[in-house]
Amino acid sequence: MVQTINNTVDFVKRTLSKAEGGHDWWHIYRVWQLSKQIASKEENVNLTVVELGALLHDIADSKFYDGDEEIGPRLAAKFLKKENVEDSVVEHVINIIRNISFKNSFEDQTFSSKELDIVQDADRLDAIGAIGIARTFNYGGHKGRTLYDPAIKPEENLNKETYKKSTAPTINHFYEKLLLLKDKMNTKTGKEMAVNRHKFMEQYLKEFFDEWEGIK
Digits of tens for pLDDT over the chain (216 positions)?
Answer: 899 999 999 999 999 999 988 999 999 999 999 999 999 999 999 999 999 999 999 997 766 666 668 899 999 999 999 999 999 999 999 999 999 988 666 577 789 999 999 999 999 999 999 999 999 999 999 999 999 999 999 988 877 677 767 889 999 999 999 999 999 999 999 999 999 999 999 999 999 999 999 986
Residues 6+ apart with CB under 8 A from 67: 164
**Cβ neighbours of residue 204 under 8 Å, at least 6 residues apart?**
133
Q: What is the distance between the alpha carbons of residues 137 and 197, in angstroms, rounded to a whole number? A: 16
Q: What was the pLDDT predicted at 123?
A: 97
What is the distance between the terminal CA atoms of the chain, rounded to a whole angstrom?
Answer: 54
Contact 148, 170 (CB under 8 A): yes
pLDDT at 106: 59
pLDDT for 67: 63
pLDDT of residue 215: 86
| Each residue's pLDDT tens digit, 90-104 | 999 999 999 998 866
pLDDT of residue 216: 67
Q: What is the pLDDT of residue 213?
A: 93
User: Which domains occur in the chain, in start order?
Assistant: 2-212 (1.10.3210.50)
The reported pLDDT for the residue numbered 154 is 94
Tell me, what amino acid is at 92?
H
Q: What is the rounded CA–CA span in Å between residue 62 and residue 17?
A: 17
